[in-house]
Amino acid sequence: MKITRIDTTRLKSLPNLIWVEVHTDEGQVGLGETFRGSEAVEAYIHSISAGMLLGKDPLQIERHSKTLLRGYLGFNGSGVETRAASALDIALWDIFGQAVNQPIYQLLGGLAHDSMRAYNTCAGGNFNTGGEQRRTIAKGETRVSERYDDQVAFIECPDELAQSLIEDGFSAMKIWPFDAFAMASGGQYISSADIRKGLEPFEKIRKAVGDRIELMCEFHSLWNTTTALAIARELKDYNIFWSEDPIKMDSVQGLADYRRLSGLPVCGSETLATRSSFRDLLAADALDYVMLDLSWCGGISEAKKVAALAEAYQKPIAPHDCTGPVVLMASLHLGLSSPNAIFQEVVRAYLAGFYQDLVTTLPVVQNGFILPPTGAGLGTALNPRLHDRADCLVRTSQL
């Protein structure tokens, strides 16, 4: 078996997303995906990565992972080189699964969980996409309208939102009400009055549903350590499950100090790439929960090493998805086969909206748990109708 062609696909309406399809001479087509800087990733794949893979055996995944991920430049960050390597690695695992007619989780050792607990990131239908996708979410006889998408709702009606999620079977939710105040000060300062405003959604949720739902707070690495600690001192009264990325993840000592002084469990980080970054934070006792994004950290090959590293430190993992459906599927395979996986992030607005247009199959969520994918490899493929769209851009490298 050898790789004969590599296609990349982008949509102008979703400019952050890019898909890669790796073709073999035996007919398999492996699918991968990454997010942000899609044009730069496309250029790198066709100018650099394709030359490393075309004509090679796609099943030599570890060899390709080292070649793509540990090059002379780009090996120590989540830049274009790493994002391209991540997408291609996911595609190679998809080929492996198709070649042996097994789901990827089976290739990673089989099911460690019969299903994976999901939490809802409370984003709206066009959050973080770079486009203008938006679709109303159906809920039984009622409808969560555009005004009350989850991102708007966690500010305007957080109590109703929490109740809605519980009715959908979710037992955990993540919100980020402090971000607007960080934008105003560059993350250098927050007033007591603004802390109180940021706490209001947590207070309303706890008053409405008590402890029937876990609450995560996302900080998007927007604060300095001093200000993050000022927020944490007040936030800890609301039984927060984790504090995610409170500061930039490149300050090992700063994060360790935050964890020690804040009284909050720390989750990090979707922004980190490769096992060495996680190793340094784990060794410094700076993390309670390990979050990783498979499209930014190095793909499935590197993610399974990070998961094993986290397990050695007795830390659970919770894969990130606020990006695309292919990464969600790949993350689910990783989580289902990792004994220390406790959550898979989902965005219900994405699952009910634009994700449905992009791939042939999406994960099945039942009562807040995601069922194992069926089918070989990832268990999904790029929707062939995407190529009929006027805004679809395809580029090919081949032998």
**71 pLDDT higher than 90:** no
Nearest alpha carbon to residue 144 among 348, 364, 363, 358:
348
Domain that includes residue 93, residue range? 3-105+382-398
Q: Are residues 172 and 190 in the same domain?
A: yes
- Stretch 94-121: mean pLDDT: 98
Whether 376 maps to a domain, the answer reads no
Distance CA 104, CA 51 (A): 26
Q: Are residues 121 and 57 in the same domain?
A: no
Whether 377 maps to a domain, the answer reads no
Q: Are residues 73 and 180 in the same domain?
A: no
The pLDDT tens digits of the residues spanning 284-293 come to 999 999 999 9
The pLDDT tens digits of the residues spanning 317-361 come to 999 998 899 999 999 999 999 999 999 999 999 999 999 999 999
Distance CA 393, CA 7 (A): 10
**41 pLDDT higher than 50:** yes
**386 pLDDT higher than 90:** yes
**132 pLDDT higher than 50:** no
Q: Are residues 71 and 164 in the same domain?
A: no
CATH number for position 271: 3.20.20.120
Q: Are 118 and 370 in contact (CB under 8 A)?
A: yes
Q: Between 137 and 302, whose confidence is greater?
A: 302
- The predicted pLDDT at position 129 comes to 61
Q: Are residues 191 and 339 in the same domain?
A: yes
Tell me how crowded residue 399 is: count the other CB atoms within 10 A of its CB.
Answer: 11
One-character DSSP codes across 210-256: TTSSEEEEE-TT-S-HHHHHHHHHHHGGG-EEEEE--S-TT-HHHHH
- Stretch 143-156: mean pLDDT: 70
Q: Are residues 118 and 241 in the same domain?
A: yes
Q: Are residues 132 and 223 in the same domain?
A: yes
- The predicted pLDDT at position 76 comes to 74
**307 pLDDT higher than 90:** yes
The pLDDT tens digits of the residues spanning 209-264 come to 999 999 999 999 999 999 999 999 999 999 999 999 999 999 999 999 999 999 99
Q: Are 355 and 325 in contact (CB under 8 A)?
A: yes
- The predicted pLDDT at position 128 comes to 67
Instruction: Tell how far CA 251 is from the center of its chain.
Output: 22
- The predicted pLDDT at position 130 comes to 57
CATH number for position 56: 3.30.390.10
Which two three-digit tokens encode residue 212? 């029937």
Lowest-pLDDT choice from 139-148, 152-161, 187-196, 353-362: 139-148
State the pLDDT confidence band at 78, using cuts at 50, 70 and 90: confident
Q: Are residues 392 and 363 in the same domain?
A: no
With a pLDDT cut of 90, the percent of the chain lying above it is: 90
